[in-house]
Structure 1
């Protein structure tokens, strides 16, 4: 299910690439997450407020606008079927051409015959809950440190994250939730600190109360996100931020 949701999110990223002005930081491709309905969503793609959504709860794609909602069931759908639906809707309702093209590579490929399948509904619910956890934890950190920055999901690496200068400090922090990768085979919270354009070294920092510092391949701190409470995630980030500030 992790792979399928990562691939399905690319339909949203492609909409941003197709319809929005290109941003140098790629922010036109990034996504929001609604904790109430469990949906990823694009930036507004038209004057009618069209957004393309990916619904974790129902395993569907949705076009939402001030005219209503149009839904496409992913379970049993081929990649080519999804593209046809997206292309037809875009042509009729946005008068624009949807293109499934990217300027980055994913860790896996997809062809026209690839078929989506709701093979594990329980795992899909767990993945939604991880996004809810990440959003809640980052909203808490955002508020506590007055970061006033957007929490977004970046479709390339599929992480939920924020990147912001730390007020009353000379450091910048990047933190969020990452999917399993070469750093960890589990979803994990991560944080890195930056000063004068350089990543802050972690090899000599004091031990964290939870999680661990990394310096090989990734320089920062990580914490396994499985079965994590919001309070534990917030405590992890606050501990790491305090140690980074006092380095």
Structure 2
């Protein structure tokens, strides 16, 4: 597999994650930071999962997307409700929206709220054409990376006694943490797909002090990755070779630990 195959897979899955974010924005209590739209990667089930939506009968539901099985699943703890699916393989965005409208009606929500959707990569999921389908190998690599990143960030939080959720944001599609530290420092760290910062997927770490991007002594040598001091300020460690994914993930964990310590002057 080439790295571009994996990048295309992440772009494709990003579209479906954005659908979860759009639905969450309609049925969850809105937060100023839009955290109600973000989701978690369930490492056991290998699914993207929304926050809990309270149904009219006071039971709860979550919207899940299974990349490897090409379907959404509306999971609920209500024993009297079926748990409907929305199949995405070979189905366009019109089909997905109409099926969600019907299925959300079945669990007591107003499905008609869902109309048009603003997707990051409409060339891979349009209203009228069949969607782009990533290869199974690329999807399995996605599952492996997101599971490992999720566990790495949880370990970083636990080891340092930091407080944060580990969430996936529908806009950037990064798996990240947000931590508040003493002396007005804020940390944004995690893993992101290829974007304007890097042409390759990458681990990242960035800090802000009193609301402004903050860099330590960037002349300090890093074992992995490199500093960036341009429009975006921070440090990244790119993923360039799928055949070396295990090395990338193990080095990425060390990268996050080392750079966090440098930012915090430990």
Given that residues 218 and 227 in structure 2 are in contact (C-alpha distance below 8 angstroms), is that contact kept between their aligned partners in structure 1? no
Aligned alpha-carbon RMSD (Å): 2.2
Which of 32, 37, 52 is the aligned partner of 2:63? 52
How far 1:34 sits from its partner (Å)?
Answer: 0.4
1:133 and 2:148 matched: yes
Gaps of 5+ in 2: 1-8
Residues 148-175 of structure 1 show CA distances to partners (whole Å, capped at 9, x for unaligned) of: 2111100011111111113x56522110
Tell me what 1:143 maps to.
158
Tell me what 2:180 maps to.
165
SS in structure 2 of the partner of residue 89 of structure 1:
helix
1:241 and 2:260 matched: yes
Q: How many residues align?
A: 245
Provide runs of 4+ in structure 1 moved above 6 Å: none
With the length of structure 2 as denominator, give the TM-score of the two structures: 0.84
Which of 73, 84, 102 is the aligned partner of 1:62? 73
Between 39-48 and 63-72, the greater mean CA deviation after superposition: 63-72
Between 116-125 and 10-19, the greater mean CA deviation after superposition: 116-125
With the length of structure 1 as denominator, give the TM-score of the two structures: 0.90
Q: Map 1:84-233 onto structure 2 (within 5 A).
A: 84-97=98-111, 98-100=113-115, 106=120, 108=122, 111-166=126-181, 170-201=184-215, 204-225=218-239, 227-229=245-247, 230-233=249-252
Tell me what 2:45 maps to.
37
Gaps of 5+ in 1: none
Higher relative contact order (CA 8 A, sep 6+): 2
Given that residues 92 and 126 in structure 2 are in contact (C-alpha distance below 8 angstroms), is that contact kept between their aligned partners in structure 1? no
SS in structure 1 of the partner of residue 178 of structure 2:
strand
Between 9-18 and 199-208, the greater mean CA deviation after superposition: 199-208
Aligned equivalents of 1:114, 1:202: Cα separation in 2: 49
Distance 1:125 1:88, change over 3 A: same
